[in-house]
Structure 1
Amino acid sequence: MNEHFSIGETAKLNNISIQTLRYYDKLGIFKPEYTDPNNGYRYYHISQFFYLDIIKYLKGIQTPLEEIRQIILTTPQEMQRFLEDQENTIENEFKKLENAKCLLEKKKRQLKEQLEICEKERGEVYFRSIKEDRILKMATQSLNPFKGRSGLYVRKLANVLEEKGCIIENQYGYIYSLKPYDDSNMNYEYIYTSVSEESLNIEEPMTIDAIASGDYVCIAFDWSENNKDYYHYYQKLYNYITSNHIQTDGKVYEVSLPTNYSSLKKETFLTELRAKKIEQ
């Protein structure tokens, strides 16, 4: 019985390409037992196939080739420790993929919601049912719709999420009190972003909260850095609520949704102001 096989035969018997076997040989991961000095042909012994299966297994659990080269030289005890570490790595990757899937589903809902808002007449008050949104929020100072830089607050929220291994939500909102203003004393109280993760250990000054589900009275308008009409739209919403004796939770929730996705274009957003209606 022939116990030595050419590189082509070995490739066919083990469902692996000749190029891969040559690459393994070059890396020192899996070498032929014998190379004919006359013609340079490589021959593998049948007993080597067992070790090739180990390599294929390690590759199947996403082990980099450089690590495989080190692992196959270790003891069974070290192999066990590696597999336990690899299991933890894979579980963490599963969690990241699950979070990514949740974020994808949420983003699809947000875009559907954005298209729904787009169908509303700009600058006119309307009612809309909104689902609960779990948020990460932090208090703001000297920040309002007309001036102030929100970028630093956005970075702080994003950095905390990155440190917790979360995928960053690219939608941010603001919360402030529903009350009479002039355009000089309107200030945001909180900035927030949505979070998909179920449990996060967050420290002050940031907190985990939720924007409750329910019916909201809303107004939408196109907003940009040069837009001076924000106060006008807020006042229209406020007057509608007070003149119709609508009870709310006393807060305004502002959400701005991008209408382009490139920094090369002018920064524009579809902005919606929302106030939660409380049933009397």
Structure 2
Amino acid sequence: MNEHFSIGETAKLNNISIQTLRYYDKLGIFKPDYTDPGNGYRYYHISQFFYLDIIKYLKSIQTPLEEIKRIILNTPQDMWNFLQQQEAVIENEFKKMQDAKCILEKKKRQLNEQLEICGKERGEVYFRSIKEEKILMMPTPSLTPFNGRPGLYVRKLANVLEDKGCIIDNQYGYIFNLKPYKDTDINYEYIYTSVSEESLNIEEPMTIGTITSGDYVCIAFDSSENNNDYNHYYQKLYHYIVSNHIQIDGKVYEVSLPTNYSSLKEETFLIELRAKRIDQ
């Protein structure tokens, strides 16, 4: 029985390319049993296939070739230590993929919601059913709808999520009290973004909160540099709630939804103001 095989036969028997076998030989990871000095042909012994399987396994768990070279030259204990470390890496990557899937699903829901809002008549009050959402909140004592961009607050929220190994949701909102404001008196209490985990170890002044599910009375309008436009739509929502004797939980939730995704285009947003109706 022939126990030596050419490089082509070895490649075919082991479902691997000839180029890969040559590269492994060059790196010193997997060498032929002997090379014919006359013609330079490589021949592999059947007993070597076992070691090739080990290399293929290590590659399948994303082990770099230089690391493979080191591992196969060491002891079974070294192999066990490496596999334990690799298991932790894979579990961490698996968690990241799960988080990414959650964010993807959430983003699809947000886009469906955005399309629903886009279908509403601008500047007219309407009702929508909104699902529960866990949020990361940060106080914003000096931020209003009229005094500039919330960039630094947004970055702080994003940095906390990155530090915790969470994937960032790039949709942000604001919370303030439902009151009969005059002109530009509105002050945001919090800026927030959604999170997929409730058990994050968050330090003050940030907190984890909940936007509860239920029916919300809403108004949507396009963003504008004109302060009077924002105030006009807020007042319209407020007076609708008061004149129709609608019981509200006392908060207004503002969500800004981008209508383009490129910094090369003009920045435009669709704003929705929401207030939760309480069942009487």
- Which residue number in structure 2 is paired with residue 147 of structure 1? 147
Gaps of at least 5 residues in structure 1 are none
Deviations 1:198-219 (A, max 9, x none): 4211111111110010110000
Alignment-mate amino acid for residue 12 of structure 2: K
Q: Give, in angstroms, the shift of residue 26 of structure 1.
A: 1.8
Give the fraction of aligned pairs with identical amino acids, expressed as a percent: 83
CA-based RMSD: 1.2
TM-score relative to the length of structure 2: 0.97
Question: C-alpha separation between the residues in 2 aligned to 1:41 and 1:232?
Answer: 84
Q: 1:136 maps to what in 2?
A: 136
CA distance in 2, matches of 1:141, 1:14: 66
Contact preservation (8 Å) 1:220, 1:270? yes
Q: Which amino acid aligns with 1:96?
A: K
1-side partners of 2:216 and 2:40: how far apart? 78
Contact 2:184 2:231 in 1 (8 A): no
- Separation (CA, whole Å) in 2 of partners of 1:221 and 1:18: 63
Distance 2:81 2:220 in 1: 57
The residue matched to 1:247 in structure 2 has which SS?
A: coil
Change (3 A) 1:23 1:250: same
Partners of 2:212 and 2:236 lie apart in 1 by 23
Task: Tell whether the 8 Å contact from 1:146 to 1:228 is kept in structure 2 after alignment.
Answer: no
Q: Which residue of 2 aligns with 1:89?
A: 89
Q: SS state of the match for residue 234, structure 1?
A: helix
Call closer, same or farther: CA 1:11–1:228 in 2, change over 3 Å.
Answer: farther
CA contact (8 A) 1:218 1:275 kept: yes
Report the equivalent of 2:121: 121
If the length of structure 1 is used for normalisation, what is the TM-score? Answer: 0.97
Corresponding residue number in structure 1 for 2:6: 6
How many Å apart are 1:225 and its aligned residue?
Answer: 4.6
- Verify: 1:107 aligned to 2:107, yes or no: yes
Aligned to 1:69: 69
Quickly say closer, same or farther: Cα 1:24–1:232, change in 2 above 3 A.
Answer: same
Structure 1 residues 10 and 147 mapped into 2: Cα distance closer, same or farther (>3 Å)? Answer: same
Contiguous gaps of at least 5 residues in structure 2: none
Classify the secondary structure of the residue corresponding to 2:223.
Answer: strand
What does residue range 1-280 of structure 1 map to in structure 2 within 5 Å? Answer: 1-225=1-225, 228-280=228-280
* Count of aligned pairs: 280
Contact 1:134 1:208 in 2 (8 A): yes
Structure 1 residue runs of 4+, over 4 Å off? Answer: 224-228
